[in-house]
Structure 1
Amino acid sequence: MRLIEFYSEEKQCSYIASKKSCFRYFIIHNVSVEFYYGLLERGWRRFGNYFFTPMCEGCIDCISIRTLIEEFNFSKNHKRVLKKSENIQICVQKPSVSQAHIDLYNRYHLFMQNKKGWEYNPITPDAYVDMFVEGHQNFGYEFLYYLDSELIGVGLVDVLKDSITAVYFFYDHRFAHYSLGTLNILKQIQIAKEHHLKYFYPGYWIKDHYCMGYKERFTPFEALQNIPDVFDVPIWEMYGINKHSLK
Structure 2
Amino acid sequence: MKREFKENESIDYCVLDYDCPYLPDKKTRMYYRFIPKATKELCSALIKRGWRRFGFSYFHPICNGCEECKSLRIDVKNFRPSRSQKRAIKKNRDTKVVIRKPTITFEHIELYNKFHKFKSKKSGWKYIPIDLQTYYEEFVVGAHDYGKEVLYFQNNKLVGIDLIDIVNDGISSIYFFYDPDFERLSLGIYSLLIQIDIAKKLDLNWIYLGYWVDGCKSFAYKTNFKPYELLEGFPNICEEAKWKNIDN
Matched, 1:231 2:238: yes
Aligned counterpart in structure 2 of residue 72 of structure 1, from 61, 66, 79:
79
Partner secondary structure for residue 43 of structure 2: helix
Match of 1:128 in 2: 135
Partner secondary structure for residue 29 of structure 1: coil
Aligned partner of 1:46: which letter?
Answer: R
Aligned partner of 1:58: which letter?
Answer: G
Match of 2:219 in 1: 212
Partner secondary structure for residue 66 of structure 1: strand
Match of 2:209 in 1: 202
Q: Distance in 2 between matches of 1:208 and 1:123?
A: 28
Aligned counterpart in structure 1 of residue 122 of structure 2, from 115, 118, 121:
115
Shift of 1:116: 2.1
Q: Distance in 2 between matches of 1:169 and 1:226?
A: 25
Aligned partner of 1:229: which letter?
Answer: N
Superimposed CA distance per residue, residues 201-226 of structure 1 (whole angstroms, 9 cap, x where no aligned partner): 11111123211121001111111023
The unaligned stretches of length 5 or more in structure 2 are 1-6
**Contact 2:70–2:233 under 8 Å retained in 1:** no
Moved over 6 A (4+): none
Q: Distance in 1 between matches of 2:149 and 2:234?
A: 29
Q: Distance in 2 between matches of 1:101 and 1:133?
A: 11
After TM superposition, list the pairs within 5 Å mapping 1:174-189 onto structure 2: 174-189=181-196
Aligned partner of 1:227: which letter?
Answer: F
Q: Distance in 2 between matches of 1:23 and 1:113?
A: 23
Match of 1:60 in 2: 67
Matched, 1:90 2:97: yes
In the superposition, the TM-score normalised over structure 2's length comes to 0.94
Aligned partner of 1:109: which letter?
Answer: H
Matched, 1:173 2:180: yes
**Contact 2:44–2:169 under 8 Å retained in 1:** no
Q: Distance in 1 between matches of 2:239 and 2:98?
A: 38
Partner secondary structure for residue 212 of structure 1: helix
How many corresponding residue pairs?
Answer: 241
Partner secondary structure for residue 67 of structure 1: strand
Q: Distance in 1 between matches of 2:218 and 2:38?
A: 31
Superimposed CA distance per residue, residues 152-191 of structure 1 (whole angstroms, 9 cap, x where no aligned partner): 1000000011211100001111111111110110111011
Superimposed CA distance per residue, residues 6-26 of structure 1 (whole angstroms, 9 cap, x where no aligned partner): 101101101112110100001
Aligned partner of 1:18: which letter?
Answer: D
RMSD of the TM alignment (CA)? Answer: 1.2
Q: Distance in 1 between matches of 2:204 and 2:93?
A: 24
Match of 1:101 in 2: 108
Match of 2:154 in 1: 147
Shift of 1:76: 2.2
